[in-house]
Structures are given as C-alpha cells and as structure tokens.
Structure 1
Amino acid sequence: MTKTIAFVLYPGLTPLDLVGPLQVMAGMATVDPSFDVVVVGSDLAPVETDTLVKLTPTHTFDQVTEPFAVIVPGGTAGAFAALADESLLSWIRHVARTAEIVGSVCGGSLILGAAGLLHGRPATTHWASRDLLRKFGAMPVTERWVEDGPVITAAGVSAGIDMALHLVARLAGEQVARTVQVMIEYDPEPPLGGIDWNSDVPEAIEPQVQAMMELGLADHPELLARLTS
C-alpha cells in the first residue's frame, strides 16, 4: 500500500517550513515509490503565506483522511491564527489517531499543541516561541528535532530539513537519506558561520512575538490571554 505523507497548508504559513521538508520527502518518494507526498488544505485555492508567494494544495482535508504521516509547518501571525482554527485542529486530531508520524516544523508545534497532541511530551519549536509550548502541556527542549512516540517536532524553519532527512533515514534507510541529501545538495556552510546563541539572539524579539500573537489572535481574546498570562 502507498504511504501518504500529507503536508498542511493554512493561511500565513512560512513557505520554507513546508517546502524544505517537502522537497526531502518528495526525493524519498522518487527513490521509493511506496511513498506519496501530498499538500492538503481546506480547499484547492491558492493560500497566502507570510512571504510574497502563494502555495496551492493538491488535495483537500476531506480527500485525505488517513495519511501515513502528517507534517504541520509554522508561520508568523498566521500560525497563531491557526491555533483558533477549529476545522484545521479537528482534521489534525482526526488524522493523528491513525498516522504513524505526526510532525511539525517551527511554530507548527504550537498548532499540534492546540490540537491537544503535545500534553506531557517533549517538544521543540522556533527558539522565540519555545516557552509557549508549556501553555499546551508540552515540555520544551532545545534540540533541532525531538521524537516522542509518533510525534516529532522540529525547531525553526531550516530545522525542518534536518528532521525530514532523519525521517527518510528512518523510513527508507540511511542510503536513501544520503541520496536525497546529495540530490538537494544539502551541505550548509553559512557565510557568517554558525549561530552564537550567547550573542546573536536579538533582545527585541519578545515584543515581535507578542505583536504576531496579537495580530493572529485579534478575534480570539481568550486564547490570546491564555498564551500571554
């Protein structure tokens, strides 16, 4: 049987959160046709992101009800708005009952938390929002990705590629994962070197996160109060 890997689209997501791991998983599906990759949304209309590009689903939520894996990307204000999108949360809860893998990238873990899937689990997300995981009963960890049972969460944006390569190695073997890594030429060498977490983190990020929460949850003051209390 074909194993369907479903990536979730919702308004305001961060494209690289979805496209990075999707490219990795699509590479696996090219090598191993027992896997199929789809992109799901509430309908088939193009979806606004937090950049200038729009993304279009291949399937609707109603068409994909029992995926082998589901991956939820993060976003900025859109990810916070998604915390109150009951139709999205309901679909995630439903597919999580049977999915062998329930994953997220960046702020997508907050959406998993809002769906009630992280209570008592270790989880990670973008460093600026990591402590918010506690609001959903999760145990925040400082890792590129962390697994707990069927749930795997990745940290900010680019960590989704690392998580996806890990999943390919787990699902199809290390050689396939290495093949995909070479296919996408994933061999990071940042021109300024790695991040110095003791000095590179901007002090002004907390007000920016607060502003994104307020924008995304403007119509949901009770949830906003819960996240900021």
Structure 2
Amino acid sequence: MNVAIVTFEGFNELDSFIASGILNRMKDVGWNVQITCPADTVTSMNGVTIAAQQPLEFANTAEVVLLGSGICTRDVVKDAQILERLQLDLDKQLIGAQCSGTLLLEALGLLDGMPACTDLTTKPWVQDAGVEVLDQPFFAEGNVATAGGCMASQYLATWVLAKLAGTEAAQSAVRYVAPVGEKDVTVEHCLSVVQTFI
C-alpha cells in the first residue's frame, strides 16, 4: 500500500507529519508512507528543510494521496508545470486534502462540485474558486476527502485507515499516538468524526 504525503515548499509541518506519523503505524503490514515533493528538498513555513522521500510522480501510482497545505499553495495552483506532474485518479485512489490543499483538489478538477473543508485563512480563496466551504473539520464523498485546521490531519489519517484497513486498524493506530489518559476518548472521537464517510 503506497501512500503519498504530497508536501510543497512552505508546507505546514503539522499537516504532513501528523498524517505520516499515524499512517506509518501500518508499515509492519506493508504500508509504504512517503513524503512526496516536487523538488529534492522543501522548506516549511517555519524554516524546517526536509529531503523528499519520493518525487511528485510517486503520487500518480500511490493508492492513497494526501495533499498537504502551506503558505505557497496559491502559487502552486498557478504553476502549470507542477499541476501537469500530478495525474490523479479518483476511481483508483483515495485522495485527501488538508487545509489549503483543498485549493489543489479544485485546481486538479477533483472536487467536481462537492463541498469541502479548509482552514479559516484559506476559506475565502476556496470560496472564490466556487467551492462551498463547510463549517466542520472533515468531509468526504466517495474517494475524496478534505480536512480543515492543522489538527484535523488526524481525521484524514483515520479515514484512510478505516476505509482501507478497517476500524480495528484505525483504532490501534490512533490509540498509539493519542495522549496518555485520553486514549479511549481520542479514538472514539476520531472515529466518530469520520464514521459517516467510510
């Protein structure tokens, strides 16, 4: 199971790393979760530089693609060269977007009229693109999902796990990363947010 965490220049660390950390709980059963970038290195909005584990094209053949957000997303969606490198297919892939990653979903024609979630800063730009923005942290329809707010990346990861590996796998992965003393409530909450959309 290949999972591409698509990460661009100016990325938000929480978006990419939380989803990666949770989904990597499945590597013992063959999940291959990779930070996927358009360049050899990218630097986050807070100055953290990381090396890409895979080139952008890895996303085209991955079973799961999660589009992260960042301060440069509005520039990314105007970059035809980057968009042309992404050839995603909702019939064969689960595709999710975090915060301003929703702009990418729209630019790639993957929302197809469905409402979406995003962060408060990105909301007016997503609305300007003609997308109805929901006042909730997570929404999915079929094989596409959106999440709004940095910490909502846990819901994207939970959705992916529940859809592809089952509820027990999702519970186990979320329980592992949940705060001590709050494990049961965290697992219950994450699953309650995504359950309608599985």
TM category (shorter chain) comes to: 0.7 to 0.9
- Equivalent residue in structure 2 for 1:68, among 45, 63, 66: 63
1:23-34 map, 5 Å: 23-30=21-28, 32-33=29-30
CA contact (8 A) 1:66 1:99 kept: no
- Between the aligned partners of 2:167 and 2:90, the Cα distance in structure 1 is 28
Distance 1:80 1:66, change over 3 A: same
Match of 1:14 among 12, 15, 29: 12
Alignment of 1:149-164 (within 5 A): 149-164=142-157
- Is 1:169 aligned to residue 162 of structure 2? yes
- 1:39 maps to which residue? 35
Report whether the alignment pairs 1:48 with 2:8: no
Q: 1 CA distance for matches of 2:11 and 2:146?
A: 16
The answer to whether the aligner puts 1:138 opposite 2:138 as a matched pair is no
CA distance in 2, matches of 1:126, 1:79: 13
Structure 1 residue corresponding to 2:101, chosen from 104, 108, 118: 108
Identical-pair percentage: 22
Residue 160 to residue 82, structure 1, CA distance change in 2 (3 Å): same
- Are residue 58 (structure 1) and residue 53 (structure 2) matched? yes
Larger radius of gyration: 1
Letter aligned with residue 118 of structure 1: L
Q: Is the 8 A contact 1:74 1:107 kept in 2?
A: yes
Amino acid at match of 1:81: D
SS across alignment from 1:121: coil
Q: Which runs of 5+ in 1 are unaligned?
A: 189-229
Secondary structure, aligned partner of 1:116: coil
Contiguous gaps of at least 5 residues in structure 2: 184-198
Matched-pair contact (CA < 8 Å) for 1:144–1:155 = yes
SS of 1:50's equivalent in the other structure is coil
Matched with 1:88 is 82
Asked whether the 8 Å contact 2:7–2:69 carries over to 1, the reply is no
Q: 1:112 to 1:64 in 2, by over 3 A?
A: closer
Note the 1:185-204 alignment, pairs <5 A. Answer: 185-186=178-179, 187=182
- Contact in 2 for aligned 1:90/1:115 (Cα 8 Å): no
The change in CA–CA distance for 1:145 and 1:42 in structure 2 (over 3 A counts) is same
Deviation at 1:98, TM superposition (A): 5.0
TM-score (norm 1): 0.72
Q: Report the aligned-residue RMSD.
A: 1.9
| Letter of the 1:7 counterpart | I
> SS where residue 96 of structure 1 aligns?
coil
